[in-house]
Structure 1
Amino acid sequence: MMSIYGAIAQEEVMNVGRSIAWGHRSQAKRGIIRWKKATYGYWVDEDYRWHIQPEQAKIIKRIFREVIKGKTVNKICEDLASDGIKTATGKDYWNPKSVMAMLTNEVYKGDYLFQKHVTVDTLQSKVIRNQGEEPQYYIENHHEAIIKPKDWDRVQDILEERKKGFIKDGHQKYEKDELKNEAFIEKLYCGECGYLMGHRRHVERRWKKPFETHFWVCCRHDQRYRTERCDTRRIRQDYLEWNFIHFLKQIHRNPNFKNDVLHWINRLELTEEEKQEKIDLQDKVETQNQALYKAVEEGIHENGQNTQLVDKLTEELVELHDRLKHFSERERRVEHERKMFKEIMKKVKKHVEGASEDFPDDLFQELISRAEVCKDGKVTYYLIFELEQEMPETYADFVELKRQQKKQETKEKHEALLNGPEVEELLVFCEEPKDLKEIVSFMNEKMVISDSHIFQVILRPLMKQGKMERFKAPEKGGTREVFHYQVIKHSGFAK
């Protein structure tokens, strides 16, 4: 039954929302806008008329004027912040995106575009940019202009020219970002200033195969328009993922970690005195209930003359229930924390013993309430169990590890090539002396490889192994002496 009532109420809310929207659209068709909230630079009176807010209008005129003079949006933001001018929301620093939105807003030349955005979910107030979902209405001369129309148009031309120049210089729009680690959002904080860290990515297009590098950086460092930037650096996302996986390995091996968490949970338990107090409170509640029932019954017979006593007993009973509720909530919390910790440690064990190098998003979300990252890469994890743990690894450790891994991978790749069929065929080919040009031509029929790579990766190791020798002899069809390579006959490698 309740679900039926809920559905009826929900439909009623949606109908009301649609009716209001229809009413606003009908008025917009006639050039009437009835919004109490005006754009920055204006205020609205009781009759919905727009008036210029002088102080804010000065800032808007300044922004447009400086674009015409040739300043970039980032430089304008920096100058506004350095002059101590607050944003519309009272912040110290201006966001370039917000300033760009102001520069392209037709409101400042006195016009109004109705339904730039539309609500697609009435219940959850989900708003999206209107891309044809609803009709739009452009109202000219709706209010007094702050910027002259010719100056507004001039600024649009300047912005368009800058955009074309940006594209002409070879800049391309990035593809959709699918490699950003969503688990880090609003969890990473700068260890130098305590400010929230944000995600950045770099797409390298100069190579045949473009690749992306993802970073997290303090927002006070990366915004160039700030007058005082944080003294930190960008930290690669794969390092942060690697660091957390090492953290999981550490707590899995460390028996003290489990003891520390359980000790913290045990501190939430009721003491013996509190347990006895809980029993006493339960007895008092029972006694108070009986007294309240009796007072109510007597009040009925006496035509409500005992109302003061009933009120007094009710207040005392509510107070007793509140104190009991506090104890009950602590007991439930202890049970919940123990169960949650047990489940988390099961997941940690499965991940570590499974030797997985994949980043466990769920574990990071469940276990970490906050992580502080210093500029040297050291990370301090603040756990949901109100414990903190600093990892000793630094960003330099990670870079060295990656260098060693790459060196080992290259070594294994070279060894595989030396033991592969291509080199075996080369040894047969070199039973008779061959110069480097002949060897390069022969190998490039098998694979794409440079002459320097052939010498460093194939010929030099073969000579060190005693499988091949090098000597000078006249080149074919000439008298100039060049190096020739030949399989050593007595080595057993000649076929």
Structure 2
Amino acid sequence: MKKVEIIKANRTITDRNKTHSLQLLRVGAYCRVSTDSEDQLNSYKSQVAYYTNLIKKNKEWVFADIYADEAITGTQVDKRTDFQRLINDCLNGELDMVITKSISRFARNTLDTLKYVRMLKEKNIAVYFEDEKINTLTMDGELLLVVLSSVAQQEVENISANVKKGLKMKMSRGELVGFQGCLGYDYHPEDKSISINEEEAEIVKYIFNRYAEGAGGSIIGRELENLGYKTKRGSSRWAESTILGIVKNEKYKGDILLGKTFTVDPISKRRLANYGEEDQFYLRNHHEAIISEEIFEKAQEILMKRSIPRGAHISNGGNIKRQKYSRKYAFSCMMECGFCGGTLTRRNWHSGSQYKKDIWQCVVSTKKGKKHCPHSKGIPEEAIEKAFVESYRQLCHGNKDILETFLKKLDETLNESSVEKQFAKIQKKISTLDKKKSNLVDMRLDEKIDKDTYEMKFTETSLKIDELLEERTSLENVLENEHTMKKRLVEFRKTLHNNQVLDEFDRHVFESIVEKVIVGSIEEDGTTDPHKLVFIYKTGLADSQNGVFFKPKRKNAKKTNSVDIMNSGLCSQTSNEDSKTSSLASEHACRNSSTFTNKRELKDWWVHDFRIKSYHFNCERFE
């Protein structure tokens, strides 16, 4: 056997890109502190001074640079700019060794520690951890490094858990956490209180009032920009998201919700909206309110209707459509096609010319084609407004006794409802069964009943509770509808009392008492009436008007046509007292006779036999 001579390894670091060995190591140090407290900053300065002296005193080392991150967490590398500079310098061949205090100073994430240590090791660059006395080039394996870096990461998670616990204890005591003020309020850190900023509060009131009136976030934003108002941060631009954020904020009614968001884990630091994953703390009447409870709730109701997701659909006669909610115009999302159930949208005819007019048309017909809704026709906005004025006039005067009787019956029906009693009874049953379940558990723990009997009784009781819970949910919906109807009755009577006479269309009156308007209908004999307008009031009343009688005069109509119609005897004006007491609709029929410029329109008018469809009420449920 031949003799083998062993040549001992030389631990001197060599530069493989050069032919000669490097006698001196180019050394850089990395320092970091995680907070900006005074003690931590002093520690940061001490680390920088210590490593500068340490490297310069060693005759075998050449001082390369000090890399230091101030008040930055060690769990996320991408936020540590000097750490990134250190790695880049190493990869560019400017360093031979990196020295740092401990593994936790280098990184608190096990994955990052191993990733960058291996990266530098491939480049023959050592990382030396002083506290652990580990040199990554001379260590036999990564096991020790993995264990110690895992300990560093666990330390971060323990600190995070303790901090979370402390914050929750503060919130449970009603202390403000993470709040630094918002538009309309100033924050006082000395006593952790908030007070109203009167100048900003006026902006908040304007936003809520306009939103409650039906204006959208983008519209309100443009109005604020035109008025010259600025945001809390001094920006003159008002984004829609800013407006909606203010509308959603419960602080403006005097309450505070703590714990709206939470941190998923201390490593990624990712924050999510809290939908129940973590505890929340609601403080009522915490401070002085800027907005009343009523206006805030009205804004939330509108916000809820508008925030229906794009994927939410409803079925109507086999057709699927997406619900929308916009209040830019008085009739927005309140017009329904009587033929296909689709909504009506506002369109401009002859835009830019003297014949311009606003028309409401079925969106199914305009977007999918006339064949999908062949009977629908466009109806002028002015005609809808005038028809409502006439319907409201009849509502207040012509059928006052019938209206009062209807409202009285509706009120009596709601007051006689036994839903509240049923709800209380079910609640009592659920409470009794919960106690029974608790007793069963106690009896089982005391071994007073056997396992089979316990499981049978417990399952039986649980099923009964589930049934009662479903029934209670159903009753809650009915109860909520009844409360809504009672509230509508009060508002309906108030509106009627305050607006006895309505000479012209009033959007506020319309929106306060009308639920929706159905345009067009199919009569019992099968004939279609595309001009029929049915106003569905919020109390359940329904009134129909003939839209033909309220069509505005055409700007290009021939004057001779109106003379011919007048001479034909179809519309006669008399000076007797009866003509003075004729209805507003009849006046429209005569006054707007010039609108019938062709035989077809004249025939449609004749078919209705000069009669306005009488006011009728949907009282079937009370008979």
TM bracket, shorter-chain basis: 0.3 to 0.5
What is the TM-score with the length of structure 2 in the denominator? 0.31
* TM-score normalised over the length of structure 1: 0.38
Larger RCO, structures 1/2 (Cα 8 Å, 6+ apart) = 1
Larger radius of gyration: 2
